[in-house]
Structure formats: C-alpha cells, structure tokens
C-alpha cells in the first residue's frame, strides 16, 4: 500500500454483517461470564414502565449522572442531556471524573450513602449488589434490542437487566503516515508483530523520532497482545493464563522498552492507573501507537499530520481485544424512575447513533448493528476497527466480560511494571501473574 493511502475497509452494509456475526459468535463464549452476584433491589413495587410514564410526573426533578469521558463523547452526551432536559422538564447534574478514578469514586459514594442516580462504567462487577434492576421499568424484552454479544454484560446471574451497553470499542494500532513516507517505508495492508516492530524501527531510525512504538498503560491493551499470542487472563470465571505463551507474546514489547524504542517511564508512574500515550503520538514522537477507536475523533481534530488505522498485528492469531462501556442506575439513588427513563432515552436507536457517530464508538443495539452506521468523520478508518472486530476470537469477548477481568488486569499491570523496572524477568513475572490471578478467582 502507498504510504499516503488509507488501509482497506468494508462498505457500511458489509460491516453490519461482520459485526453482527461477531456478536453471535461471542454469545456462546460469554454465556458463563456474567458479572457475578445478585442484583441491586430485585422487583420494585413502585416502578412504572417507562413506556407508560407520564412525563409531567417527572417535571422539576434532578438526576445525578457520574460520567467519565474518552474525549469527543462529552459534547455528544451534553447534547443528548439537553434534549432530555427539554423533553421531560428536568435537570441532569453531570459530574465528570477521570476514567482512572471512576470505580473508586463510585464506591466511595456508595459506601457513604451518597449513591448517584446513574453512572457510566467500564465494568459492572465492582458494583454488584448496588445496581438498579431495570426489568420492571424497561421490560425483560428490552434486552432483545441489543446485540447478542453484549447481553451477558447487561444481565445479572438471574437474567435480570442491571446495565445498558452504551458503546463498543476495539483496540488497534494507528500509524503516522507522514513519518512512514518521510522514511521511505511502505505501510502494508496487514502485518505480523515481527513485521510491525521492524517497520516501526526503520521509521524511527530514518526520521529521528523518539520512539518506534507506543501503547497505553492498560490491562486491556496488554490483553490485546496476549490474545494475539493465544492466551487470556481469565475465561468462564476461571484463571486461564498460559505463562509460557504470555512470555512469548510480550517479549517483543519488553525488548522495545529495554532498548528504548518504546517509552518506559509511564509504566512506572501512577501505580496501576490507566495512562494514555496519545500525546506521544500527537507530538509525532512515535510512528505506531496501539490504542483504540475512541481516539479517532480526537486525532481527526488534533493531529497535524496524515494518519491511518491499521489491522492488528498477528502472532498465533489475529484481531484485537474488545471492550465497551455501560450505563447503570443505582438502587439507592434518589430518583429510580427518572434514572430508568434517562437510561432508555440515552440508549434509544436515535440517541445511540448520535452518540457513537460523534464519538467514534461502535453500536451495541441490534438494529444499528444490522443496518450499519456511517461515521461523519473518518468512516474508512472506523471501518478498519469494525473489520478487525469480526476477526477477533470469541475468547477475547469472553475475557473482557468476565467478572474477574478487571482485578486480573490490575495484577497484570503490576507484574508488567515490575519487568519494566528491572525487578523481575518476564518469565518469572508471568508465573507470578498466573498465581495472582488464581488468587483473584479464588477470592471472588
């Protein structure tokens, strides 16, 4: 492929078919991976079906919404909130906290008896027992409005709806096309890990940029590499890491960090908290950056160079690692009825399409998955993520929705940071990680 061209993609109608197929494939693998525990309040005798709700009964009320933003989604959210406030004559108090603090912030609020009405979360497991059961408000059939692959994440072990999947994400690499062109290095249509490292290193050496490869400090991003190496932290509620396979998969990254072609400092800062490398990419200090589709809108606005998305590099398997966000209500929140009404409004077909197209996310609703979505900006680049999603193993979906994933991912970052710091060799760290995940599962 010419360095100035964009990677191949699929037309919107084809994307709909492949994404829907992935959801169906993942459904079986996810069936045993519910975020465990019982739901928040069970049946609520005061609940009124939202479809029968008289809007005038909600007028004058205030709803609290604790939110983290990936960037452009904030304005899309504010726009939808403004519509909701006007339609129902209510006020939505939007509280934005950093992604790295969302879980601790909400847990502190809950333990202090200050539950918000609604929150945006990356996982439901940390809040089991506190979530508002939505069946009495939205109906059990509401689940069918969403793609099969995300339904398990929306329900508790009893099959009750305790969350709404609001968007779907996919990890994958970005490339600085200007740096590749300056180096005289051709950008391929696809690549293996070895090829990616080789090409990125060539670009670094020929252009003098600081690094060859960067990635976010994230258990999800590290799990992308594990998946490509054929192993996962957890599967079906059990520890599943193969330390030998993990060592093989991660060795190229460790080598780059050790020889200075990938940044090391942020692995040693801020404990296990997420830290993005997007600023390194935007500063043109690196030609290849592993992150995800949520960066597309930000890069479209802020990048002062030509860039493109690329298929994930392959090892023993290809594809990336999925993720996504949920909207939840809390049983102890002061406005349960308003919360359920807000959740339905924010995740209607019209609202979700507006939200994901403005934010460069992928749909969770079955109707949008089937029809396909056209993105107003960088539709081709988003198509690369959608195509890669169809090539992602079902085991990757099972891992990301597993109730033990977040805790296992925290242990992953701890052990990998020990390797970066020079305190452990990679093989030892992966053996220790396996033991730590075993302990996480036993204590769950």
The 3-state DSSP class for residue 216 equals: coil
The answer to whether 262 and 213 have CB atoms below 8 angstroms apart is: yes
In a domain, 75, yes or no: yes
Cβ contacts of 135 within 8 Å, gap of 6 or more: 43, 142, 160, 161
In a domain, 6, yes or no: no
Tokens of 59: 């007028």
In a domain, 2, yes or no: no
CB burial class (10 A; 0-12, 13-18, 19+) of residue 362? buried
Tokens of 8: 């191949």
Q: How many domains does the chain have?
A: 2
**What's the pLDDT at 27?**
40
In a domain, 93, yes or no: yes
If asked whether residues 125 and 60 sit together in one domain, one would say yes
If asked whether residues 378 and 413 sit together in one domain, one would say no
CATH code for the domain of 76: 3.40.190.10
If asked whether residues 163 and 175 sit together in one domain, one would say no
If asked whether residues 283 and 352 sit together in one domain, one would say no
**What's the pLDDT at 52?**
77
If asked whether residues 263 and 213 sit together in one domain, one would say yes
In a domain, 147, yes or no: yes
CA–CA distance, 338 with 430 (Å, rounded to integer): 47
**What's the pLDDT at 157?**
78
**What's the pLDDT at 165?**
95
**Domain around 109:** 17-168+323-393
If asked whether residues 236 and 312 sit together in one domain, one would say yes
If asked whether residues 246 and 139 sit together in one domain, one would say no
If asked whether residues 149 and 186 sit together in one domain, one would say no
CA–CA distance, 354 with 347 (Å, rounded to integer): 10
**What's the pLDDT at 288?**
99
In a domain, 376, yes or no: yes
The answer to whether 304 and 95 have CB atoms below 8 angstroms apart is: no
How does pLDDT run along the chain (444 residues), one tens digit per residue? 333 333 333 333 334 434 444 444 444 333 333 333 334 455 566 777 887 788 899 999 999 999 999 888 999 999 999 999 999 999 999 999 999 899 999 999 999 999 999 999 998 989 989 999 999 999 999 999 998 778 878 988 788 999 999 999 999 999 999 999 999 999 999 999 999 999 999 999 999 999 999 999 999 999 999 999 999 999 989 999 999 999 999 999 999 999 999 999 989 886 777 888 999 999 999 999 999 998 998 899 999 999 999 999 999 988 899 998 999 999 999 999 999 999 999 999 999 999 999 988 999 999 998 888 999 999 999 999 988 887 888 889 889 888 899 999 999 999 999 999 999 999 999 999 999 999 999 998
If asked whether residues 281 and 400 sit together in one domain, one would say yes
CA–CA distance, 372 with 246 (Å, rounded to integer): 35
**What's the pLDDT at 43?**
55
Q: What angle do CA 408, 252, 428 make, to 5 degrees?
A: 50
**What's the pLDDT at 28?**
38
| Residue ending a domain, choose from 351, 375, 393 | 393
In a domain, 108, yes or no: yes
In a domain, 188, yes or no: yes
Q: Which residues pair with 215 in a beta bridge?
A: 290
If asked whether residues 264 and 281 sit together in one domain, one would say yes
**What's the pLDDT at 190?**
96
Q: Phi and psi for 275 in degrees, rounded to 5? A: -145, 125
If asked whether residues 279 and 378 sit together in one domain, one would say no
If asked whether residues 180 and 81 sit together in one domain, one would say no
CA–CA distance, 318 with 336 (Å, rounded to integer): 43
**What's the pLDDT at 7?**
37
**What's the pLDDT at 393?**
87
**What's the pLDDT at 398?**
84
């Amino acid at each position: 492929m010419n360095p100035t061209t964009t990677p191949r993609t699929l037309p919107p109608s084809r994307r709909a078919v492949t994404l829907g197929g992935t959801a169906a494939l993942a459904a079986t693998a996810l069936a045993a991976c519910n975020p465990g525990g019982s739901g928040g309040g069970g049946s609520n005798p005061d609940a009124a079906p939202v479809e029968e709700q008289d809007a005038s009964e909600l007028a004058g009320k205030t709803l609290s919404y604790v939110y983290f933003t990936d960037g452009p989604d904030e304005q899309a959210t504010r726009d939808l909130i403004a519509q909701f406030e006007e339609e129902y004559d209510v006020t939505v108090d939007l509280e934005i906290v950093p992604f790295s603090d969302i879980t601790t912030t909400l847990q502190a609020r809950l333990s202090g008896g200050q539950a918000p009405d609604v929150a945006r979360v990356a996982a439901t497991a940390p809040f089991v027992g506190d979530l508002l059961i939505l069946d009495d408000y939205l109906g059990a059939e509401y689940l069918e409005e969403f793609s099969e692959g995300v339904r398990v994440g929306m329900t508790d072990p009893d099959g009750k709806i305790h969350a709404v999947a609001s968007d779907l994400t996919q990890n994958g690499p970005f490339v600085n096309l200007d740096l590749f062109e300056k180096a005289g290095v051709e950008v391929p249509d696809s690549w293996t890990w070895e090829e990616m490292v080789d090409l990125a290193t060539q670009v670094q050496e020929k252009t003098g940029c600081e690094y060859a490869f960067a990635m976010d400090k994230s258990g999800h991003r590290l799990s992308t590499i594990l998946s490509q190496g054929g192993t996962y932290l957890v599967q079906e509620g059990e520890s599943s890491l193969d330390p030998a396979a993990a060592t093989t998969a991660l060795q190229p990254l460790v080598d780059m960090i050790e020889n200075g072609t990938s940044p090391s400092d942020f692995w040693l800062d801020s404990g296990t908290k997420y830290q993005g490398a997007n600023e390194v990419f935007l500063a043109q200090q690196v030609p290849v950056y592993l992150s995800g589709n949520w960066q597309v809108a930000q890069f479209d606005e802020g990048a002062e160079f030509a860039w493109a998305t690329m298929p994930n590099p392959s090892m023993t398997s290809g594809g990336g690692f999925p993720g996504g966000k949920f909207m939840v209500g809390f049983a102890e929140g002061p406005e349960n009825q308003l919360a359920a009404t807000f959740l339905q409004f924010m995740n209607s077909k019209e609202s979700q399409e507006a939200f994901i197209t403005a934010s460069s996310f992928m749909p969770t609703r079955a109707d949008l998955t089937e029809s396909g979505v056209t993105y107003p900006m960088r539709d081709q680049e988003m198509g690369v993520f959608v195509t890669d999603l169809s090539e992602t193993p079902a085991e990757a979906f099972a891992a990301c929705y597993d109730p033990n994933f977040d805790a296992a991912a925290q242990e992953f970052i701890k052990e990998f940071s020990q390797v970066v710091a020079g305190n452990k060799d990679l093989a030892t760290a992966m053996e220790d990680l396996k033991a730590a995940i075993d302990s996480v599962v036993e204590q769950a």
